[in-house]
Amino acid sequence: MSNSDLPPGSDKDWGKLLHQLRFPPRAEPQPFFYARVHARLLAQADAANALLPNWLRKPAYAAALCALVLAMSGDGAVAAPAGAGYPTSNPAQPLAR
């Protein structure tokens, strides 16, 4: 396959124009480009971390919070004696009329 998109008989001006486009003084990013990318990555990481409060980012506190939430969420079932507050009807038994 030919990689030229110039049809046969194309004018020289077009070729010259493309040559200019291909060989201008090459633009480059400002010096220390990598340092700026690195700084931006760090800033993004900090921003992501800042979404959680400082104390919650410590594993011990996070684990304690999870344990507390778990304990609180099931305390009604744990505190109540077995069967208390729940119907104990046996499905096999016919209901009294």
Partner 1 sequence: MAFGLSLPLSFELPRCSRLSATDEELVAQLQQGSEAAFRTLVARYQNRIYQTALSLLHSPEEAEDVAQEVFIEVYQTIASFRGEAALSTWLYRLATSRALRCRRWAHAKKRFAHFTSLLGLDNQVLHELPDHAHPQALLEGAQQLGLLRACLGRLPAKQQVAFTLRHEQELSYEEIAAVLATSVPAVESLLFRARQKIQQSLQA
Q: Does 1 interact with partner 1 (rule: CB under 8 A)?
A: yes
Contact 25, 16 (CB under 8 A): no
Q: Of the two residues 18 and 56, which places its CB atom closer to partner 1 in the complex?
A: 18
The residue type of 62 is A
Residues 23 and 18: their CA atoms lie apart, in Å, by 9
Report, in Å, the least distance between residue 85 CB and partner 1: 47
The C-alpha angle 21, 26, 31, rounded to 5 degrees, equals 155
Binding track over 14-33 against partner 1, x by CB under 8 A: x--xx-xxx-x-xxxxx--x
Residues of this chain, 41-80, that bind partner 1 according to CB under 8 A = 41-42, 44-45, 48-49
Report how far residue 61's alpha carbon sits from residue 52's, in angstroms, rounded to the nearest whole number.
12
Which residues make up the interface to partner 1 (CB under 8 A)? Answer: 1, 3, 5-6, 14, 17-18, 20-22, 24, 26-30, 33-42, 44-45, 48-49
